[in-house]
Every structure is written in C-alpha cells, then in structure tokens.
Amino acid sequence: MLNVWSIVDKSSMQPIGIQMLFKRDKEQQNTTIEMGIFLSRQAHGKLIPEEAIGSLIQYAFAIRKVKRLIAAFSKKNLATIRFVKKLGFIFDDEPFTNNSNDISCHYNSVNWHNNFPIKLHK
C-alpha cells in the first residue's frame, strides 16, 4: 500500500514537496502504516508541515481507519523532532540515548479522536 500526494504552495501553485502513507513491512497489519514528508528548501520555516501532515493524519484516521501511524527519521533532523513532539507523537525510545542514527515515534487513533474531534466526510 502506498499513497503519495503533492504539496503545492497555495499562492504560486508550484509543487514544494510530497507526503505519503505506506507500509514498509509486508508483515505490518493494515491498521499500522508509516507516513513521510519531503519538502523543498524553499518550503522550510513556513509552517507547511503542520498543515500538510495534519491533513494526512486526519485522512489516515478518519478515512482509512488506521489505528496507528509511524514516523521514522534521522536524529539529526531537529526540526522534525520538535514538530512531531508538537503534534503529540510518542517516541519509541528516548531520541538521544539510543545508539541508532534514526528515531521512531508513533501516534494512535485514540489520541487523535480525543484531541481532534473534527471529522472528514467521505
């Protein structure tokens, strides 16, 4: 399963990134998927991830009926660490105490339903 969307700057209508939902592991249940976002440098610092990922999370939980979203990224990416903390993701390990260069965190549908009562309609 792979869903990919373009992220477009609303004022210029130019593409500035992509976001996706995917299953990395074939053994993963359909109720657990990963998410990702890639932005061009011109999009950095403009709060675009908040809007884009907020919509992606809403789609995953409200439409796809996913139970758990996973985000994995480099521990060098301090902006992403701040961003996922702000959204309420739970870190699987303390980000800076493990020996890996990567960080993994998750967000579950129960938290989303409790914190974001607005629902999408099909």
* Helix pair 78-87, 48-58: axis angle to 10 deg: 50
How far, in Å, are 10, 20, 37, 62 from residue 6 at the CA level?
Answer: 12, 9, 10, 20
Q: What is the pLDDT along the chain (122 residues), one digit of tens a residue?
A: 688 999 998 888 999 999 999 987 776 667 889 999 988 988 887 778 778 888 888 899 988 889 999 998 888 888 888 888 888 899 877 655 666 788 889 999 888 777 765 444 44
Rounded distance between C-alpha atoms, residue 76 and residue 71, angstroms: 15
**The pLDDT of residue 100:** 74
Superfamily of domain 2-115: Gcn5-related N-acetyltransferase (GNAT) (3.40.630.30)
How many helices (H) and strands (E) in the chain? 3, 6
Distance of CA 30 to the CA centre of its chain: 16
87 in helix, strand or coil? helix
Alpha-carbon distance 4 to 6, whole Å?
A: 7
